[in-house]
Amino acid sequence: MAVSNSEWENWLDRLYNLRRDKSGSHERPHKPALLLSIINLLDRGIITRNEIPLSDELVAAFKRYFAVVRRENDQPTIQNPFFHLCGDKFWRLVPASGERDIYQEGSVSGAPSVAELRRRVAHGTFDAGIWQLLSEPVARHQLREALIARYFPDDREKLAAITGAGAKAEPVVALREEMPPGRDSAFRRTILEVYDYRCAACGVRVLLDQCMSLVEAAHLIPFNVSRNDKPTNGMALCPNHHWAMDRHLIAPVPDGKKRAGIWRVNEERLDDRIEGQRDLVAIAGKSVIPPGEEKFYPALESLRWREEHLVTIH
Ligand SMILES: [Zn+2]
């Protein structure tokens, strides 16, 4: 990615702090839902340029996301985020020919109707910096993960089903982690530190305020099977890759050359022609992004356990 770390963190920071309406303590989900919808259309190749019209496809995607994340009396009004996202200063509405700017900074007026937006606005457009991230598949995947982690952590599985990754995963019951209290946080802290808060599959690294990390500590052989919480039985993964590994859709497996292992995907259950599964299939054959020190590299027996379960569980 041609984006520097500080630039990346700057964008995450802005996405983590979208200005949102509140109803009591409930923050409205419209803006992050709109961003997820746009990301969805980018993944599907429906949007290819930095010109995002208020199209029927965008409205349909927004409704699908909204149905999952809505709470209380939230209404699926796409015109609100499409219009008010301008206030976050990385999104602009380009007037249709002969029209004037529709968004006035500081104005507290409500959003125009969908029909009026369609008549007066040619399309929305992103600031070049965030567009660079959105137009690149890996960075886009990371942005989607960050948005879900920040705004909709409880809806992760349902949101994954919308993008397709969950569709085939239903039959397998994941081996849930059962850790005694206290041990879990020590394991987590160690794994995140030795992997420098980076997902060993996709490389996403998010660390805010030195304490909040998007990345999770995953056991290779589950703790309730192995009772082993040494760092060599763990790996730092973003929620998406943790979820997929728990369901044996992907696995780090031993490799003759790469000491930390390489990624394999379950080809019977994943299809790179299906949106949402493409991201997972894309890591096939990639090396595990190793921890800083070799003594923390995944143990061979842990990689073997993952390999066996990838091919035997369908
Ligand atoms: Zn990842």
pLDDT at position 50: 97
Please give the residue that has the higher pLDDT: either 76 or 13: 76
Ligand 1 centroid, distance to 199 Cα (angstroms): 5
Q: Is the pLDDT of residue 162 over 90?
A: no
| Cα 249 from Cα 37, distance rounded (Å) | 24
The pLDDT of residue 55 is: 96
pLDDT level of residue 30 (50, 70, 90 thresholds): very high
- Contact partners, residue 264, CB within 8 Å, separation at least 6: 250, 251, 252, 253, 284, 285, 307, 310
Give the distance (Å) from ligand 1 centre to CA of residue 219: 15
Distance 279 CA to ligand 1 centre (A): 9
- What is the predicted pLDDT for the residue at 199? 92
CA 48 to ligand 1 center in whole angstroms? 24
Name the band, by pLDDT with cuts 50, 70 and 90, for residue 184. low
User: What's the gap in Å between 145 CA and the centre of ligand 1?
Assistant: 8
Give the pLDDT band (50/70/90) at residue 173.
very low
pLDDT above 60: residue 304 = yes
Residue 55 C-alpha to ligand 1 middle, in angstroms? 31
Q: Are the CB atoms for 124 and 52 separated by under 8 Å?
A: yes
How far lies 102's CA from each of 52, 88, 207, in Å?
Answer: 16, 15, 37
At residue 192, does pLDDT exceed 80? yes
CA of 89 from ligand 1 middle (Å) equals 28
Residue 123 has pLDDT above 80, yes or no: yes
Q: CA neighbours within 13 Å on the CB side: how many for 313? A: 22
How crowded is the C-beta side of 207, counted as CA atoms within 13 Å? 15
- pLDDT reported for residue 314: 47
Q: Tell me what percent of the residues of the chain surpass a pLDDT of 90.
A: 46
For residue 58, give the nearest of 42, 74, 73, 80 by alpha carbon: 42
- Domain residue spans in the chain? 5-154, 164-312
User: What are the residues whose beta carbon lies below 5 Å from ligand 1 (ion)?
Assistant: 199, 201-202, 238, 241
Share of the chain above pLDDT 70, in %: 88
CA 213 to centroid of ligand 1, rounded, Å = 13
Number of other CB atoms surrounding residue 80 within 10 Å: 17
| pTM score | 0.58
Task: Report how far ligand 1's centroid is from the alpha carbon of 159 (Å).
Answer: 16
CB 302 within 8 A of CB 221: yes
Cα within 13 Å of Cα(94), Cβ side? 12
Please tell me the distance between residue 15's alpha carbon and the centre of ligand 1 in angstroms: 18
CA 21 / ligand 1 centre spacing (Å):
30
Distance 174 CA to ligand 1 centre (A): 18
pLDDT in tens, 72-118: 889 999 999 999 999 999 999 999 999 999 998 877 778 999 999 99
Does 161 have pLDDT greater than 90?
Answer: no
